[in-house]
Structure 1
Amino acid sequence: MKTLFELKQSMATIGQQLQKIENELADKAMDTTATLDDVKALQTTKSDLKMRFDVIKEQHDQMEAEQKAKFENNQGLKDITDPKQKIEKAKADLIRAAIRQQPVSADVRQALGDNTNPATGGEKFLPKTVSTDIITEPLVKNPLREVSTVTNITNLEIPKLNYTLDDDDFIADTETAKELKADGDVVTFTRHKFKVFAGLSETVLNGSDANLVGHTDNALRSGLAAKEKKVTFATTPKVGEEHMSFYSTQNGIAKVSGENMYKAIKKAIADLHEDYRENAKIVMRYQDYSEIIETLANGNATLYSAQPEQILGKPVIFCDSATKPIVGDFSYSHYNYDLNVLYDRDKDVKTGIEQFVLTAWIDHRIKLKSAFRIAEVTTP
């Protein structure tokens, strides 16, 4: 088998020959005394050299990529000076160690900001850098991530209101005042366990660090997003998770009805107290919005090009899980993850795919139900 150096030499040699033929072909084409057979002969030679060059280049690029990946995988953390590259390499080493059931080196843990002593049994806790990147980085696939609060704190307790005065007369919204009196002014977060599985093929596992880390992180983040949406919009929540859903009867968010979806949403916005209405947004299905536009447009194409905020009066966030539009100030929607995120491995015996498993604890709290309304159409 040719070495990478020999392939580079062959590419250079054939490349020079190809360039020479191309120049000769251009000269022949402009020479009116040259025959068409001469031009065709040079074209054939050019095509032959080009095909040979492409075959050698493909082998060269493949071998170069393999050697680069091998070098990256074999490179020690101490040899890497770029902080981002060092973290990526450490993440890849952690994932491979978990799948192969090998101990994680102290260098890897140090690079990922984990000072846990393995002797205490904490070796399965996901290091700080990895868990923070996965949990707190914004996720496009859960649109509420852009407007809700996300934290990563153990035993979190927070006040329902961001500020208070020396008397409670400053609360102008009577619903909020009643809610605080009934439920207290502190929100206490609890822990609800779930697992996310990132499937890793042998090719990905043995590939470059960048591909391995990118694939695993994306899979885990997608899993977290799916769980967040599932508990937030559940119409029949699991036992113990009722408080997480906007649609749960336990939260008792007020419903506002209208003869059609457009009027229901408009009435829901108006029904909010001004403290919440100013920062209100609408979370709804695109299907419902399309029906509103179709009804309002009545053959007029102008509305189809208008922004949703121009139509409904507030910014719109589309989410297919929102079976009924939710209107409100989503800063009062809060996701919290417990700090002690675990990692482990599993294997799908049917497919042979290795699984990097993340175990996390989530809680979603609607800090003030008074800040939200659910819009629904009146049943005739």
Structure 2
Amino acid sequence: MAVTLFQKKQSLAEIGEELTQVNNDIAEKAGNPAVDDTVLNKLSEKSESLEKRFNLLKTQIDQQEAKDKKNLEKKNQRTHENDDPKAKQIHAFAGLVRATMSNKPVTHDILEALGDDDTTKTGGQSILPVTVSNQIIAEPFDDNPLRQDEAISAITNLILPRVAFSIDDDGFVGDQEVSKEIALKGDQVAFGRFKTKLKAAVSETILNGTDTALTQYIQSALQSALALKEKKVSFATTPNAGEEHMSFYSDEVGIKKISGDNMFDAITQAAGDIDDAFQANIKVYMRRPDYLAMIKELSNSSATLFGKAPEEIIGYPVRFTERATIPVVGNFSYVQLNYEIASTLYEQWKDYDKGINYFGLTAWFDQQILLASAFRLATTTSSNPSTTSTTPASK
């Protein structure tokens, strides 16, 4: 029969009392010359034996208490994690990655923790659960500055009105470029499905590490890949076939080009050319080297302008992206990015030449520039004489 911790502590107390009594006897008899040495030797041996027993039992008790404390902490942690939705999602997403990487079906408890409400799907490999979509797709991240300004959605077969609101007598929709654009392109925008495949390289140490580290690594890698793809299509000078409508530089979109003698003139004139209805949220997207060169030219080698915010210099906030080879000026709330979450696929494969395992996500998305009238391209006559036209490009 196993001895309980309570029984061990009882025995330890009894041995301790006996050891104390024996040591007291030794102290009392050692000072009495009449007591024979044999008696003292027996008491000393008994004391050593009791002390050894006491220490052995004390070690067992300490080990048992440490083990029980650790188990209690783990239990409390599990209880806390069960009550913490974020912790549950982290563990579930890590389970999803590990199952995918080992070509095993994703269990229903993982899918349920990730927000999947349709367990009739086979294995979960064709599902992007709601919470994961929020973490990977819907949450804004700094690598793509457009996400600070454009609308993000995850709606299948999304159709939007080109103009979100109108007033019968405001004349906005019937005014100049907006009315021409709606007549040319229609008053509705239908989002399509364009596939992108993202890969996150996963080492064995990451895969076998903690759930938190694995989840953070995979989500960060996929977010970075998405940001790169989104920026690439948004500022593509030669878009892929079928993706022309996503680029600010595409003739199909037909954003008006405004030319100036220098970058400052081009940007300010472009901003001033935009209709008052769009002025409230105008921002400028451009390359950082172009902005610094503009400031250097304006300051005439003085350092006074370099410490000022762009709003103080050109009158509008600036977002920097290396792909904006021509500054784009406009109200970026008239751009929308839409993902079809239900169509997303998870998969894994290995590059045997490099010996690297990949966790892959295939997603379908579309980006629509709802109104080209809300934007201008700022070109300069000195650097780009071929883009001096101030008329919209035809579709």
User: Structure 2 length normalisation: TM-score?
Assistant: 0.74
Q: Is the 8 A contact 1:202 1:353 kept in 2?
A: no
TM-aligned CA deviation for residue 79 of structure 1: 7.7
| 2:362 corresponds to 1:359 | yes
**Aligned runs of 1:185-334 on 2, under 5 Å?**
185-334=187-336
Change (3 A) 1:348 1:248: same
Residue 362 of structure 2 aligns to a residue in which SS? strand
User: In structure 2, what residue type is equivalent to 1:94?
Assistant: L
Corresponding residue SS for 1:125: coil
1:340-351 counterparts in 2 under 5 A?
Answer: 340=342, 341-351=344-354
Percent of aligned pairs with the same residue?
Answer: 48
Q: Would you say the 8 A contact 1:231–1:237 is kept in 2?
A: yes
Partners of 2:93 and 2:301 in 1: CA distance: 55
Of 148, 151, 159, 1:149 maps to: 151
Deviation at 1:126, TM superposition (A): 2.1
Counterpart-to-counterpart distance in 2, 1:130 and 1:124: 13
| Amino acid in the other structure paired with 1:240 | G
Q: CA deviation at 1:165?
A: 2.7
Post-superposition offset of 1:81: 3.2
* Deviation, structure 1 residue 106: 1.2
Q: Following TM superposition, by how much is the alpha carbon of 1:353 offset from its aligned partner in structure 2, in angstroms?
A: 2.0
Task: Tell me if structure 2 keeps the 8 A contact 1:77–1:107.
Answer: no
3-state DSSP class of the match of 2:353? coil
1:85-132 deviations in whole A, cap 9, x for unaligned? 111111100100000011111111111111223455754322221122
1:367/1:90 CA distance change after superposition, 3 Å: same
Distance in 2, matches of 1:140 and 1:299, equals 31
Q: How does 1:158-173 map to 2 (within 5 A)?
A: 158-166=160-168, 169-171=171-173, 173=175
**Which is greater in Rg?**
2
Matched, 1:98 2:95: no
Q: Give me the CA root mean square deviation.
A: 2.1
Which residue of structure 2 aligns with residue 11 of structure 1?
none
Q: 1:230 & 1:89 partners in 2: Cα distance?
A: 33
Contact 1:175 1:370 in 2 (8 A): yes
Aligned residues: 309
* Equivalent-residue separation in structure 2 for 1:81 and 1:335 (angstroms): 34
Quick one: which amino acid aligns to residue 230 of structure 2? Answer: E
Cα separation, 1, equivalents of 2:83 and 2:125: 26
Over residues 117-158 of structure 1, what are the superposed CA-to-partner deviations in whole Å (9 max), with x where a residue is unaligned?
345575432222112210000010001100111111100011
Q: Distance in 1 between matches of 2:175 and 2:302?
A: 40
Whether the 8 Å CA contact 2:193–2:366 is kept in 1: the answer is: yes
Report deviation, 1:80. Answer: 3.1
Q: Determine the C-alpha separation between the residues in 2 that align with 1:145 and 1:92.
A: 26
State the Cα deviation string for residues 188-242 of structure 1 (Å, max 9, x = none).
1000001000111000000000100000000000011011001000000010000
Task: Give CA deviations for 1:353-374 in whole Å, capped at 9, x if unaligned.
Answer: 2111000011110000000000
5+ long unaligned stretches in structure 2: 1-69, 386-395
Per-residue CA distance 1:299-352 (angstroms, 9 max, x = gap): 322111111111111011111100000000000011100122111111121232
What SS is found at the alignment partner of 2:111? helix
Corresponding residue SS for 2:306: helix
Give unmatched runs, 5+ long, in structure 1. 1-67
